[in-house]
């Protein structure tokens, strides 16, 4: 059995923290981070807002990401071995792939591959504060959050809702352990109820 779980949502909403906790708790679990598929900095366009357009789907090599997901789908055991994931002996032939990223539900070819989709949200002030406390390889220029990051998040969230993409909304202000236990319970229920 193969289960693909999406952990998407707002920047600094807790996606990576939740994903890492799930990876440690779930057997035969691999992770693909959307951030690993950013195009080189010199290929990121500067928009009308004056900022490099990091928070747009076009800044990512989504075909490469899809290819990586398809490699896992075709052989989860081989994928796990080549990515240093220890497969637990004696567990049922169940394999779980966690996809983590901020634009997981905007790329059509990936949409039908998910068994479960989660979407972390934060209020504007909390998100801005968390973003300001993070250090990135390419530091945020002044005004990026209000001028680009937050508007792009709102745009893609509206599009996702307009397209009727079904997600389980998660409040990123809730305690990490609470979110982890909710999603872990959902995944285990999916495993138990899977035909």
Q: Is the Cβ–Cβ distance between 53 and 47 less than 8 Å?
A: yes
Tokens (6 digits) for 104: 């997981």
* Mean pLDDT, residues 112-130 taken together: 96
* Mean pLDDT, residues 38-44 taken together: 93
Residue 9 β-bridge partners: 120
User: 11 falls in which pLDDT band (50, 70, 90)?
Assistant: very high
Closest CA to 90 of 5, 27, 168, 6: 27
Q: 121-146 as b/e, with b when 16 or more CB fall inside 10 Å?
A: bbeeeebbebbeeeeeeeebeeebbe
Work out the percent of the chain whose per-residue pLDDT is above 90.
77
pLDDT at 85: 87
Average pLDDT of the chain is 92
Residue with tokens 């972390």: 120
Which region among 49-53, 98-102, 145-149 has the lowest average model confidence (pLDDT)?
49-53
Map out the domains of the chain with their CATH numbers.
2-192 (3.40.50.300)
* Mean pLDDT, residues 125-139 taken together: 88
35 is catalytic: yes
User: 173 falls in which pLDDT band (50, 70, 90)?
Assistant: very high
By CB neighbour count within 10 A (0-12 exposed, 13-18 middle, 19+ buried), where does 183 fall? buried
* Mean pLDDT, residues 60-75 taken together: 96
pLDDT at 154 over 70: yes
Residue 29 β-bridge partners: 96
* Mean pLDDT, residues 104-111 taken together: 94
pLDDT at 195 over 60: no
């Amino acid at each position: 059995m193969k289960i693909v779980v999406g952990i998407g949502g707002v920047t600094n909403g807790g996606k990576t923290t939740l994903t890492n906790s799930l990876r440690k708790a779930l057997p035969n679990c691999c992770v693909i981070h959307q951030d690993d598929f950013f195009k080189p900095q010199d290929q990121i366009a500067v928009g009308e807002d004056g900022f490099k357009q990091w928070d747009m789907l076009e800044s990512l090599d989504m075909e490469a990401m899809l290819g990586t997901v398809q490699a896992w789908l075709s052989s989860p055991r081989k994928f796990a071995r080549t990515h240093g994931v220890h497969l637990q002996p004696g567990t049922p032939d169940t394999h779980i792939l966690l996809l983590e990223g901020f634009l997981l539900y905007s790329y059509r070819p990936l949409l039908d591959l998910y068994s479960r989709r989660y979407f972390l949200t934060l209020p504007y002030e909390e998100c801005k504060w968390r973003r300001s406390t993070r250090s990135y390889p390419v530091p945020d220029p002044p005004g990026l959050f209000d001028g680009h990051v937050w508007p792009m998040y709102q745009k893609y969230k509206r599009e996702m809702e307009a397209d009727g993409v079904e997600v389980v909304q998660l409040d990123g202000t809730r305690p990490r352990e609470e979110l982890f236990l909710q999603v872990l319970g959902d995944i285990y229920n999916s495993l138990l109820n899977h035909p």
